[in-house]
Structure 1
Amino acid sequence: MAKVTAINISEKKGVIKTPIPEGVFIEDFGLKDDAHGGKWHRQVSLLAQESIDKMIALGVENLDAGKFAENLTTEGLELHTLPVGTKLQINDVLMEVTQIGKECHTGCAIKQQVGKCIMPTEGIFTKVLKGGVIRPGDEIVVTKVVR
């Protein structure tokens, strides 16, 4: 079963996010009170714990949820293999994958603190089609895969 392991938030872009007990996701905005929210295609960022584990295996220490500035840390789903257009359902929240990976900006706080950032290759971005609340442990259902 694919599931959410953490919801993470920050007031500024480009910094490590802090885990919160639940997230309110707003249609066509993203995570309430998060710096990345807004009317654009990268409203919510997701990163799999399996990707974080790759960094831990390389010897990077003290990695936990939010260190790569992801809004949702997940488990049990190889996120970066999902094509753009794939829809994910978590409780009432419906998201559509809009981008796989991203270009790391200069002076990225994550890269400076962690040494390497995996968001450029393994993180994904979504827009919120329908809002609701997400908590750690909630199941992720892939409702539509576009090939």
Structure 2
Amino acid sequence: MKLLSVNLGRSKAVDYTDAPSGRTGIDKQPAEGAIRVAAPGAKGAAGSGLAGDEVCDLRHHGGDDQAVYAYAREDLDAWERLLGRPLANGSFGENLTTSGLDVSGAKIGERWRVGPDLLLEVTSGRIPCRTFQGHLGEKGWVKRFTQQGVPGAYLRVIEPGEIRAGDAMEIVHRPEHDVTVALQFRAVTTERTLLPSLLAAGDALHPESVEGARKYLAKSARHAARVGEGPDGVRGLNRGQVGGRP
């Protein structure tokens, strides 16, 4: 497993983003040399994430739980075949382009060592947006990306460090639960009945997914109460039906 490139984005004005500033840093390019990746609360850092990588819309991007975005070169290659066009490292706005690592198959809470020092933890999959579609220039891209179900992974920084293209990557912790990035992505996009299963990932799960799962459970409980179902999902019996008698 290897880090093929470290990709940084510079802010620029575009006409395809709904960011309040009208700017985006999605056009990420491979960087040369060592890049510092800060952890939350690092002295002198603007926030956790990669030094020199500009995040323009903090409503949906960046923050401690989405400090780093990774995408597998193998998945970019598959998209090249589907789209019939080349996709350079960084084309999907990813900070890390990886080789030999099943990024979308990673488990929530899985931890990766990148280079000698950096330690990252998987939190969620990437949700496509209008800016992503405009950047690629592919009609219907949001729907197509969602249907493919290979979102890449957002990660939080557990231990800071410097990384560079060519660094070794290692999975140093893999949780026992079965909540993968791909499963989390399907649960929050196309298969919301899967939301409760995400809670098995515990505290490693992105807070927005935790909130979504809890709201889904609360809504299901209210619905069950209205139709008279018990906690096991069995519809309650009327008083005259106890024992199966009319």
Q: Is TM > 0.5 for Structure 1 vs Structure 2?
A: yes
Alignment TM class, shorter chain as reference: 0.7 to 0.9
Unmatched segments (≥5 aa) in structure 2: 12-23, 41-47, 56-60, 178-246
> For residues 106 and 57 of structure 1, what CA distance do their matches in structure 2 show?
23
Of 33, 37, 44, 1:25 maps to 37
> For residues 54 and 137 of structure 1, what CA distance do their matches in structure 2 show?
22
- Shift in alpha-carbon separation, 1:34–1:14, aligned structure 2, 3 A: closer
Of 137, 157, 162, 1:133 maps to 162
2:9 is matched by which residue type in structure 1? S
> For residues 76 and 53 of structure 2, what CA distance do their matches in structure 1 show?
21
Give the equivalent residue in structure 2 for 1:70.
Answer: 94
Give the equivalent residue in structure 1 for 2:211.
Answer: none
- Shift in alpha-carbon separation, 1:88–1:14, aligned structure 2, 3 A: same
Give the equivalent residue in structure 1 for 2:182.
Answer: none
Give the equivalent residue in structure 1 for 2:113.
Answer: 89
Using the TM superposition, give the Cα deviation of residue 73 of structure 1 relative to its aligned residue in structure 2, in angstroms.
0.1
Aligned residues: 145
**Contact preservation (8 Å) 1:98, 1:125:** yes
Give the equivalent residue in structure 1 for 2:81.
Answer: 57
Q: Which has the higher helix share?
A: 2
> TM-score of the superposition, structure 1-length normalised?
0.87
**Contact preservation (8 Å) 1:94, 1:129:** yes
> For residues 117 and 139 of structure 2, what CA distance do their matches in structure 1 show?
34
Using the TM superposition, give the Cα deviation of residue 137 of structure 1 relative to its aligned residue in structure 2, in angstroms.
1.1
Larger Rg: 2
Q: Which has the higher strand share?
A: 1
Of 66, 69, 88, 1:45 maps to 69
- Shift in alpha-carbon separation, 1:89–1:15, aligned structure 2, 3 A: same
